[in-house]
Amino acid sequence: MIKLVQPQIEELKYRKKLLKDPQTMSFNKNNGGTVDFNEKIWQPWYALWMNDAKYYYAYIYDDTLKKYIGEVSYYFEEEYREYVLNIIVEAKYRHLGKGKEALELLCQQAKENGLRFLCDDIETNNPAKNLFLDLGFKEVWARENITMLKKRL
């Protein structure tokens, strides 16, 4: 069973590890791949993502494994005037249905938080695109190598 858990600030070391893993971040290769989530920014980052209603962040916790296996989030993107989500599942836990469960939980949480729609701007060739389509997301637009997917909650 999967659940979403908002981390304590000292638990951000998991996010640092997640974003530094080349296999996990391979989907991001066109934007630099791995990300350095430096401890110097943890305090302001945490304050924003845990206290601003336009932001939501949580770890994906697997009850069976008794560990975090990824992260989910959404934020209000001014450029699109939409709430855009993010989901990252550790590479070794992909293709097991865990991402689908986590995405369903994120959509449920967003609805409980008062959102009416949730979007993702995903690379057109990203295999995860089918996961979104299976969960009721619709293609809104595509340009260059990005497809915007949107779901009414």
Q: Provide the residue ranges of all domains of the chain, joining segments of one domain with +.
A: 2-152
pLDDT of res. 33: 79
With a CB cutoff of 8 Å and minimum separation 6, the contacts of 74 are 55, 56, 83, 84, 85, 86, 106, 110, 115, 118
pLDDT of res. 99: 96
> What backbone phi and psi angles, to 5 degrees, belong to 29?
-60, -35
Q: What mean pLDDT is reported for the chain?
A: 95
How far apart are the C-alpha atoms of 32 and 43, rounded to whole Å? 24
How far apart are the C-alpha atoms of 148 and 36, rounded to whole Å? 26
pLDDT of res. 31: 72
Is the Cβ–Cβ distance between 85 and 102 less than 8 Å?
no
**What CATH number was assigned to the domain covering residues 2-152?**
3.40.630.30
pLDDT of res. 24: 93
pLDDT of res. 83: 99
Q: 31-84, pLDDT tens digit by residue?
A: 777 989 999 999 999 999 999 999 999 999 999 999 999 999 999 999 999 999
pLDDT of res. 125: 87
pLDDT of res. 27: 81
Q: 73-116, pLDDT tens digit by residue?
A: 999 999 999 999 999 999 999 999 999 999 999 999 999 999 99
With a CB cutoff of 8 Å and minimum separation 6, the contacts of 130 are none
Using 50, 70 and 90 to split pLDDT, how confident is the model at 126? confident
